Amino acid sequence: MVKSFKTFLKHTAKDFHNQSVNPPVVRASTIIFKSMREIRKMQNKAIKNPKGGYFDYARTGTSTTYILQKILTKLEESYHVFTTQTGFGSVFLAIFSVVRPGDEILVADPVYNPTRVLTENYLKEFNIKTIFYDPHNLKTLQKNITPKTKLIFVENPGSNTFDFQDLNKIISIAKKNKVYTAIDNTWGTPYYLKPIKLGFDMSIVSATKYYSGHSDVMGGSLAVNKKVFPKVKFAEKITGQRLGPDDAYLITRGLRTLDVRLDRHNNNAKKVAAFLSKNKKIQLLYPYKKNSQNFRMWKKYYSGASGLMGLKIKAQNVISVRKFVNSLKLFGYGYSWGGFESLVLHQENKEIGKRKYMNLAKDEHLVRLHIGLEDSSDLIADIKQALKHLS
């Protein structure tokens, strides 16, 4: 009967046993049973149905975490969803599940800088080689695939520079060469893009961001297809990657309004983008320019856009860029995004990370805006007054 994503979010996971709209928080370390026979029965059920719901120890979860997994599996249209303590925990779990010493991985050049450090530096110590490809020239992906290539790791759009890629081509290349694929889909969430349905093996979302929506919880999700499920299940078990019940409850509660919030983020961001696009000192890094490759790739795969955007500002003096940022009154200064409030960051080189296919000129500076749920006219007025400081 319920076909709509929006209706599902409002009516799922009600607890009629306790007569509560939201499921209870079940906290436990030890899962208790009446007899050893009951323990063995539960363990046998877990073997027959490894997707969850049967617990003999709380490292495998509780009913609170399992409910969240079921909701996300439905939203992702995936075989299963694993949950982790942070969004980056899901990045680690995806890579660790399928990559071994001697393997090679291909990573999109504009990935989140911690992902870059993990793949390029940390994995090197385990004899795992990372090669970065140009998101706008997939020949750099194709030509670097070797018999040792195990994984293609995509972030779409790219962190800070918001590069949109041709996802079908990446999937086609990967399948032709029997290579696993993973995508960081935090910007779009499954509300705007369903990567598993598209053909990816794994899809990562930082639940810290839009899933939670209130900047008060950390978490991550990793959606998988049936093929990769056993590998991720094994890795999850031996690394202890598991979201706690309190965080799971808050994320479940946040999901109730995911669609409402993302629609508002989208609408506000469109209005802010329209205003900023008129400023000659700013190159807007957001899918708004209809004749651009980024717009075409966004339109091809996404049903909407979230509230995160970048500004490439042309200014001779970096001090004026800092004054612009510091003059904003309605934008908080802080890391992360996806909450109800607007945020701003001046992105320095150390935060962007060293990239092979992107170089900023001396007079170019990156600023990241997260457009929140405030009145868009207030946000635009605030940006307008701050822009006077650019020179």
282 and 219, same domain (yes or no): no
Nearest to 284 by CA among 294, 339, 372, 381: 294
65 and 188, same domain (yes or no): yes
Which structural domain range is residue 61 located in?
5-255
Average pLDDT of the chain?
93
State the pairing for strand pair 104-108/308-314: unpaired
CATH code (residue 93): 3.40.640.10
264 and 250, same domain (yes or no): no
Map tokens 């499920």 to a residue.
Answer: 229
Give the pLDDT confidence of 70-126 residue by residue, as tens digits: 999 999 999 999 999 999 999 999 999 999 999 999 999 999 999 999 999 999 999
End position of a domain, from candidates 209, 231, 255: 255
Nearest to 67 by CA among 21, 32, 31, 29: 21
249 and 276, same domain (yes or no): no
CA 34 to chain centre: 41
Question: Per-residue DSSP letters for 249-300?
Answer: HHHHHHHTTHHHHHHHHHHHHHHHHHHHTT-TTEEEESTT-TTSHHHHHHHH
149 and 202, same domain (yes or no): yes
Q: What is the four-CA torsion angle of 86, 88, 93, 95, rounded to 10 degrees?
A: 170
Query: At residue 362, does pLDDT exceed 90?
Result: no
End position of a domain, from candidates 210, 239, 255: 255
- The pLDDT value recorded for residue 1 is 46
How far is 65 from 377, CA to CA, in rounded Å? 39
How far is 188 from 306, CA to CA, in rounded Å? 6
214 and 279, same domain (yes or no): no
How far is 240 from 245, CA to CA, in rounded Å? 14
Number of domain units in the chain: 2
Give the pLDDT confidence of 49-80 residue by residue, as tens digits: 888 888 888 888 888 999 999 999 999 999 99
Higher pLDDT, 11 or 244: 244
